[in-house]
Structure 1
Amino acid sequence: MNEKPDPNDFTPEEIEEGRLLFASECEFFFGAQKLEQLPPFENPEIAFAGRSNVGKSSLINALTGRNRLARASSEPGRTKQLNFFNLGDRLTLVDMPGYGFAKAAKAVKEDWQNTMFAYLRGRPTLARVFLLLDARIELKKSDRDVMDLLDRAAVLFQVVLTKCDALGPNKLLQKRQELEAEIAKHAAAYPYVLTTSSNTGEGIELLRAEIFRLVKPKAN
């Protein structure tokens, strides 16, 4: 098993650059329900994927320091489009529709997979997908299916645990170790799991620093 990541892997400069990046202006600029509606390639993109109600909107809001940038739906699975946000003209954040919603018909779930696979495979500006998993919930078949989909699309993905404030240190460490063993089976998986909490801010600065490494240099 890979060693657990050391926060000291990020220099103080990277931590600060990550903070400054996410202090930049961030605005929603496009929503696409069909592949032919996607905006043109420009800045590097990072996408956030996860089951319905995993806390995607809360995490995006915590990263950007804005309460209402990404809006959570009260009805799981309601968001059906890819939402694009421009962060400081250096990075595009992509909020992907949630998956795994129980009430959806099989045809709807298959359509989600087909659309997302086509997006993932056909987007050369996509630098990484952050796959969000709820720390309180066991890994579901739909989570494994998405990992397989990311493998087939050959898109690098990194697991981010959300709502980690709900677990004690020992249970959180166990959860992290279990997931690192699971992702070791996937060719497209980044080997380290990040732990976060939108409520307490745990892990937010490290995730910002991780994302900073993926952006284009700031213009002089």
Structure 2
Amino acid sequence: MFTADEIVTGIFTRPWVFIRGVPAMKFLPPEGPPEIAFAGRSNVGKSSLINALVGQNGLARTSNTPGRTQELNYFVPDGYSGMEGDMPPMALVDMPGYGYAKAPKDQVDLWTKLVFDYLKGRVTLKRVYLLIDARHGIKKNDEEVMALLDKAAVSYQIVLTKTDKIKAAGVPKLIEDTLLKTKRRPAAFPVVLATSSEKNEGLDELRAAMVLAVNGG
């Protein structure tokens, strides 16, 4: 029997690979391993956080240009055959950022529909980690996504990003304020995590939470 720490180490110390970009629901891979998805406003740091979690700088494409991720990007640990009985312990899904007003409206609408359709209809989706920039807090777009997740009964957990960009003394208060804003939301997991991809802070806690999530915790 493996301990939780051993499971976390076994998953996140092996190489991860990109397996598919999904521009529309019909291109989704067959439902297999449990999925953990990362959602958030454009430029909130989803790709940087995924890279930091698996220790691979070039796995998820990062950019200073908001709206760069336009598909559902799937990643799994390397070395699994995909056959029954040899499935990855989890898949990570980097979702297109929302709230980027400068992209053409029809493109924004397509991205938004893809994300929302995925959230509502994916049986293997175990939890969404909703990333919130610590410098800006929860915005209207974030509240709209939380409302959709509540309606779809999809479990989600708030992850504060870029906490190295604010004063350390302000982080506990930000966590407390964020918890209050999500307290009455039925699908919100009642723990807020604080992370910094640049400083590698809070990553072990997030990895452990992901392992618990895919195992029903």
TM-score by structure 2 length?
0.88
Aligned counterparts of 1:18 and 1:173: Cα–Cα separation in 2: 26
1:141-161, CA deviations, whole angstroms, 9 ceiling, x for partnerless residues?
111111111112211000000
Residue 77 of structure 1, CA deviation: 1.0
Counterpart secondary structure, 2:21: strand
Name the structure, 1 or 2, with higher relative contact order (CA <8 Å, separation 6+): 1
CA contact (8 A) 2:134 2:163 kept: yes
* Structure 1 runs of 4+ with >4 Å offset: none
After alignment, is 139-148 or 111-120 more displaced? 111-120
Task: State yes or no: 1:33 paired with 2:23.
Answer: yes
Change in 2 beyond 3 A, CA 1:59/1:153: same
Counterpart secondary structure, 2:32: coil
Counterpart secondary structure, 2:33: coil
Residue 107 of structure 1, CA deviation: 4.2
Residue 102 of structure 1, CA deviation: 2.2
Percent of aligned pairs sharing the same letter:
48
Task: State yes or no: 1:182 paired with 2:181.
Answer: yes
Q: How does 1:127-138 map to 2 (within 5 A)?
A: 127-138=126-137
Match of 1:46 in 2: 36
Task: State yes or no: 1:69 paired with 2:97.
Answer: no
Count, aligned residues: 205
Match of 2:81 in 1: none
Residue 105 of structure 1, CA deviation: 4.2
Task: State yes or no: 1:82 paired with 2:72.
Answer: yes
Counterpart secondary structure, 1:117: helix
TM-score by structure 1 length?
0.87
CA contact (8 A) 2:67 2:100 kept: yes
CA contact (8 A) 2:23 2:114 kept: no
Aligned counterparts of 1:70 and 1:158: Cα–Cα separation in 2: 21
Change in 2 beyond 3 A, CA 1:163/1:213: same
